[in-house]
Amino acid sequence: MSFLLKFFKRQMNFSKRLKSKVGYIQKILEDDIYLIGGQNMIDEIFERGQRVSSEFFIDTVWVKMLVTDENGVFDTQVYNVVFEPAARTHWHAHPGGQILIVTRGKGFYQEKGKTARVLKPGDVVEIPPNVVHWHGAAPDREFVHIGMSTRVHLGPAKWFGPVTDEEYKSAVEEK
């Protein structure tokens, strides 16, 4: 009987410890979900926005405008871009330059004539004015970045044709 009581007591303590652990982990999760913005996806800071219907993108890309700067107050436009796996831009260049800030997934950035650079969350890409380049997702991973078009008074992007499947494959190979 004393053995049973001891066993029973141990069992109660174990349950108590587990309960407190569940409470602790749930607290972290809730904070985290809240912290990341109470979105229905815990890993999204922004909504996906509009699906891009442009001849200058390959596969599915979503853009949410964050700062349109219609009055030219900031001379800068800001947007969030979600590339689905293998989606990418055409070759293009910005007369005023562009800055990318990677927030999620895995992607690539390549300047014409150079090897591609792998991009992961926290990476920043400075694209000087008039440098011909493309950016997009890894073949099997989504890729999300904040984009900033700087000195937009210098004019809109110029486009130089698709990144072919051969160019894409060669860029992402073994990375």
Of the residues 6, 54, 114, 128, which one makes contact with a second copy according to CB under 8 A: 128
Q: Which is nearer to a second copy, 81 or 163 (CB)?
A: 81
Instruction: Using alpha carbons, select from 148, 157, 158, 156 the residue that is nearest to residue 74.
Output: 148
Of the residues 48, 56, 76, 159, which one makes contact with a second copy according to CB under 8 A: 76
| Residue 118 near a second copy by CB under 8 A | no
* DSSP structural state of residue 33: H
| Residue 139 near a second copy by CB under 8 A | no
Residue 117: its H or E element: strand 117-119
Pairing of strands 98-105, 124-127: antiparallel
Are the beta carbons of 106 and 42 closer than 8 angstroms? no
- Alpha-carbon gap, residue 102 to 107, rounded angstroms: 9
User: What are the angstrom distances between the C-alpha of 167 and each of 89, 108, 173?
Assistant: 12, 12, 10
Are the beta carbons of 104 and 119 closer than 8 angstroms? no
| Residue 126 near a second copy by CB under 8 A | yes
User: Which residue stretch of 53-61, 142-150, 157-165, 167-175 sits at the interface with a second copy (rule: CB under 8 A)?
Assistant: 142-150
In this structure, what token pair is assigned to residue 96?
């005023």
Instruction: Using alpha carbons, select from 79, 73, 75 the residue that is nearest to residue 154.
Output: 75
Taking the complex as a whole, the smallest distance from the CB of residue 2 to a second copy amounts, in Å, to 13
Of the residues 101, 117, 132, 167, which one makes contact with a second copy according to CB under 8 A: 101
Of the residues 62, 97, 116, 171, which one makes contact with a second copy according to CB under 8 A: 97
Q: Which is nearer to a second copy, 90 or 141 (CB)?
A: 141
Can you give the binding site for a second copy, defined by CB under 8 A? 4, 7-8, 11-12, 14-15, 18-19, 21-22, 25-26, 28-29, 32, 35-39, 42-43, 45-47, 66-67, 73-76, 78, 96-97, 99, 101, 103-105, 120-122, 124, 126, 128-129, 146, 148, 150-151
